[in-house]
Amino acid sequence: MAIQIYSEKSNLWRDSYNPLRGMGMPRLVALLEAGERGQYADLQWFYHYMERSDAMVFAVMQRRRAALLACDWDIRQVAESPGFRARGSGRSGQGPADSASQRHYAGASRALADEQAACLREAYDGIENLRDAVGFIFSAFFRGFGHLEKHFDPAGMVTRLEPVEQWFWVRDGLFGAWEYNENAVSGRWRGVPIDLANFIVFETVALNRIISIPYLRKSMSEKDWDGFLEVYGLPSIFLVGPPNTPEAKEAEYQKIAEEIVSDGRGFLPNGSDVKFVNGGGNRPPFLERLEYLDRQITVAATGGLLTMLAQSGSGTLAGNAHMETFRQIARGDAAMLSEVFQQQFDLPLLAEFFPGEPVLAYFEFAPAATDEASRVVEDAVKLTKAGVQVDPEELSEKTGYALQAVPGGG
């Protein structure tokens, strides 16, 4: 069943609840343990605040989200090759297929693939908030899961994919069925059952579970640093008077000391001295500690340091290696979300409008052309020169380029 109340803001009480107040390690561990039991309301509300309270956490999220949103999307058709098993038949992509699957695909016409591609393109073009929905479902990489509710028109086409914030969900245990926790009640074990056919659900490892520990330690270190600066930022100054100072002179020396402390100038008797309280060290370890914790957040979220932090080696082969690592993560994000839409949006739609037919078209995020695509083209050229014919449709699928034969071309 579809429950349209999911899009309503029914947790107004949480607007006045800041989970960062009084947050300590025991409380965080308790929230993480509750998440393992399927109670997400308070944990996900904490994640929501954490992502908006730390510059490094916010930056790594925005960078990965931007890499995904920079991708265009496209509707692809499967390459007509003997080794391909049609999508929806148990596997996706290239790979060995049994003879029955090959015969089934061989009997499908290119016209069917064109019709399915046109149907999918019309369906995705009709989603009024597709980019916002993709931006939200991306948050699952950090929060562990994300839900989009399908809103249908009278003809049965999806008109909107409504984000459902993570704190509205509960499940019975780590792998229980998803249920809706209306009003995001803390500590609730069960909610309203849902029909997964009306949702797009993406589950993965929650990066925030890893990031939250260094985030909290970083917050505590910053608090300690503030306290240190409050006490020792302006060092206390003590005037040591000359030996055997008569009591009659102590008041005079005290006045001179106060003038010196207030940036004044004055004369000190012979034998006087000035002492500064500097906190027991000239270089407290707070900065090194914060930099270390930032590195832990960056490594977890981007797979390397040089992609976010200015480290020695930037611009060298080491820097290029880290950038390539980040590009691989971005391509992996696009591939994983493409698979989610293929399985939970494409297949049900094509099964409804093309019952019993093989799936010959699919949605895919199309990252910008990279060196990898160039290498595929170069390999195709070399194979052609060697007398091996490369299927243009398969080459198009691999590179993302729309290929068309040139009349009279070789």
Average pLDDT over residues 63-82: 81
Q: Say if residue 271 is in the same domain as residue 400.
A: no
Q: Say if residue 155 is in the same domain as residue 273.
A: no
Q: Say if residue 270 is in the same domain as residue 178.
A: no
Q: Say if residue 147 is in the same domain as residue 129.
A: yes
Q: Establish if 285 belongs to a structural domain.
A: no
Rounded CA gap, 242 and 273, in Å?
8
Q: Say if residue 204 is in the same domain as residue 353.
A: yes
Query: Are 344 and 58 in contact, with CB atoms under 8 Å apart?
Result: no
Contacts of residue 40, Cβ cutoff 8 Å, sequence gap at least 6: 34, 166, 167, 169, 170, 181
Q: Establish if 12 belongs to a structural domain.
A: yes
Supply the pLDDT for residue 305: 52
Q: Say if residue 201 is in the same domain as residue 271.
A: no
DSSP string of 335-379, one letter each residue: HHHHHHHIIIIIHHHHHHHSTT--B-EEEEEEPPP-HHHHHHHHH
Domain span including residue 271: 236-277
Q: Say if residue 81 is in the same domain as residue 128.
A: yes
Q: Establish if 317 belongs to a structural domain.
A: no
Q: Establish if 297 belongs to a structural domain.
A: no
Supply the pLDDT for residue 374: 66
Q: Say if residue 257 is in the same domain as residue 172.
A: no
Q: Establish if 97 belongs to a structural domain.
A: yes
Confidence of residue 147 (pLDDT cuts 50, 70, 90): very high
Supply the pLDDT for residue 278: 64
CB atoms near residue 284 (< 10 Å): 16
Q: Say if residue 136 is in the same domain as residue 60.
A: yes
Rounded CA gap, 346 and 339, in Å?
10
Tokens of 119: 């149907």
Overall pTM > 0.75: no
Q: Say if residue 205 is in the same domain as residue 240.
A: no
Q: Establish if 203 belongs to a structural domain.
A: yes
Average pLDDT over residues 319-331: 66
Per-residue pLDDT tens over the stretch 275-315? 766 665 566 778 888 888 888 888 888 766 544 454 555 45
Q: Say if residue 64 is in the same domain as residue 168.
A: yes
Q: Which residue has the higher pLDDT, 369 or 31?
A: 31
Q: Say if residue 196 is in the same domain as residue 159.
A: yes
Number of domains composing the chain: 3
Q: Establish if 253 belongs to a structural domain.
A: yes
Q: Establish if 308 belongs to a structural domain.
A: no
Confidence of residue 328 (pLDDT cuts 50, 70, 90): confident
Instruction: Tell me how far CA of residue 264 lies from CA of 237, 238, 240, 260, in angstroms.
Output: 13, 15, 17, 5
